A and B are shown apart, each in its own frame.
Chain A
């Protein structure tokens, strides 16, 4: 099936070429980081994780969100998702790939990465994260590929794939729960040490993933002859809407707990993010934009006429995705480190090389995603659909 990715329009090749340039720039900058050390980033003794780990955390959520398509389709037989199940699975594949790369570029001694396997440490959550992420990558690649392959042949999917589909559904939340456990089990980091972290991770994932899928589906419809279906897009938008509202609520629960209890150490990171602390307020604009986007996203996606009109739908989906990205991709990680264990503030802001490397990894993810979607849309364009947009499987 890979050969399908080799035939494309000039626009397709142009896009891949553009991504390749970004990947190249990221790679060269990474070589510089490899040579000099992580000192080229904005990370510090106090804020020892930054943009890289933030992207990793955010993208685990995007990957996990494939379950919002796969579960209704395979467990509840929601036929509208039949056409886009593979779109979700392939998004998970490229997201996990980016996750692994973001962990890799964040390591001080990347050549020693196999130590995680050579010296397996079950007390470390990182150990489980490595397992769940890799298994999830394989599961999604397998399920997506096999089902697409049978679609290409015009045959029903082989029955042996079924158990894997169900395992993938059960597996999806695990990757994000384990990722939340990386944070919520650390003593002395009050912003993270909350039982609602895993729940909030899942809800924000199921807001950001479907909102991205809405945008991707519309792009696929625009640039290929394959139509993911209006109703599928609308259902995705609804999923995103309700999980966005749940995420906002979860955040407010956190704010209530911190401020009603009066425990100052729980309040400081929140004050830092929303108002600034001791005169330091670099992330306040980021958080303000985040709030604005949350309000726009929620208003549009929850209101039926605005959700149905595709112009506003695009704005709503983009707002939701960006809002979740700012929250999880930047402020969540940095906020956890501020103030430091001695109560003082040392701020973080990503440097230019760090940003170029980050863009490079994203570009690589989208490169893989483009190729996978190209294959999927080529297969889907040829498949026969009935007037309701459901696939007819030849007996």
Chain B
């Protein structure tokens, strides 16, 4: 019994190592189930804004330089989005692009020059069928029941598959530690670390406190936000009486951000 030779000893060591490594992760998986089950019992604050499916309508005609800059400024400052001058490492949640570049399928040399050059706000489209969620290997990006495409920056491994998957260029990667690029930090919202992907989250943290997304608040009516599943909502009323367009509809992603011309 006690005659363990070298071969047996190494075998025991090997088996022990395997059990040690994999047993631990198995335990975590089992534990995780319990954890996820308990999440369902969390209560939302009574003032929280809720919806079956959040959507946004951006009226391009109502946008001007000031509104656009206000939207970008408020979003990036409250979410601690770093200001990086180098376009290679830029991080942006909401930003300005020319109409012709946002809607290349409508681009036409005979349409008015003003329209083609018109500034448009772009952000994550919170697609109903999001490719980024499909491709993420760790569920670090996921779709909430209310349609918001969320990011778990603590789970993200930084593989950037979601950035390749997103056809809208909505995602940014922290190529370096972002803290050095943040001038006035908002202590109420977490920083990101280097090596993770981030993007607009429809201000989930404000919705939970009963506030609309920050860009909507400063847009002077150019951006309307609401529950698209509710026929009485403002977004739904606009969509039923106006022709609204979405970015790259043929890709089947079904964006929740609409644009009015």
Q: Which of B164, B195, B251, B252 contacts A108 (CB 8 A)?
A: B195
Main secondary structure of the interface of A (DSSP, over half): loop
Are B101 and A343 in contact (CB-based, < 8 A)? yes
B55-63, B172-180, B225-233: which one contacts chain A?
A: B172-180
Complex Cα gap A186–B160 (Å): 13
B67-75, B132-140, B200-208: which one contacts chain A?
A: B132-140
Given contact pairs A37-B176, A186-B164, A188-B248, A115 touches B88 in the complex (Cβ within 8 A): no
Are B176 and A45 in contact (CB-based, < 8 A)? no
A24-58 contact mask (Cβ, 8 Å, vs B): 1 or 0: 00000000000011110001111011000000000
| Residues of A contacting B193 in the complex (Cβ-Cβ under 8 angstroms) | 109
| Residues of B contacting A109 in the complex (Cβ-Cβ under 8 angstroms) | 156-158, 193, 195-196
Q: Which of A38, A114, A126, A265 contacts B195 (CB 8 A)?
A: A38
Complex Cα gap A119–B193 (Å): 21
Check A142 for interface membership: any CB of B closer than 8 A.
Answer: no
Check B29 for interface membership: any CB of A closer than 8 A.
Answer: yes
A305-344 contact mask (Cβ, 8 Å, vs B): 1 or 0: 0000000000000000000000000000000110011111
Check A123 for interface membership: any CB of B closer than 8 A.
Answer: yes
Given contact pairs A37-B174, A44-B87, A121-B137, A187 touches B158 in the complex (Cβ within 8 A): no
Given contact pairs A45-B88, A118-B25, A186-B164, A38 touches B175 in the complex (Cβ within 8 A): yes
Complex Cα gap A299–B88 (Å): 41
Query: How many Cβ-Cβ contacts under 8 Å join chain A to chain B?
Result: 146
Given contact pairs A109-B196, A124-B136, A342 touches B97 in the complex (Cβ within 8 A): yes
Given contact pairs A115-B155, A187-B131, A37 touches B175 in the complex (Cβ within 8 A): yes
B160 → chain A closest CB, angstroms: 5
B152-195 contact mask (Cβ, 8 Å, vs A): 1 or 0: 00011111110111111100111111000000000000000111
Are A37 and B177 in contact (CB-based, < 8 A)? yes
Are B169 and A341 in contact (CB-based, < 8 A)? yes
Check A73 for interface membership: any CB of B closer than 8 A.
Answer: no
Given contact pairs A109-B158, A121-B139, A186-B165, A342 touches B177 in the complex (Cβ within 8 A): no
Complex Cα gap A7–B250 (Å): 63
Check A346 for interface membership: any CB of B closer than 8 A.
Answer: yes
Complex Cα gap A227–B102 (Å): 61
Question: Which residue on chain B has the smallest CB distance to residue A128?
Answer: B137
Taking beta carbons and an 8 Å cutoff, which residues of B are in contact with A?
Answer: 25, 28-29, 32, 87-91, 97, 101-102, 104, 131, 133-140, 155-161, 163-169, 172-177, 193-197, 248, 251-253
Q: Across the A-B interface, give the 6 residue pairs with the lowest CB-CB distance, nearest first.
A: A108-B158, A188-B167, A108-B195, A39-B175, A341-B169, A126-B137
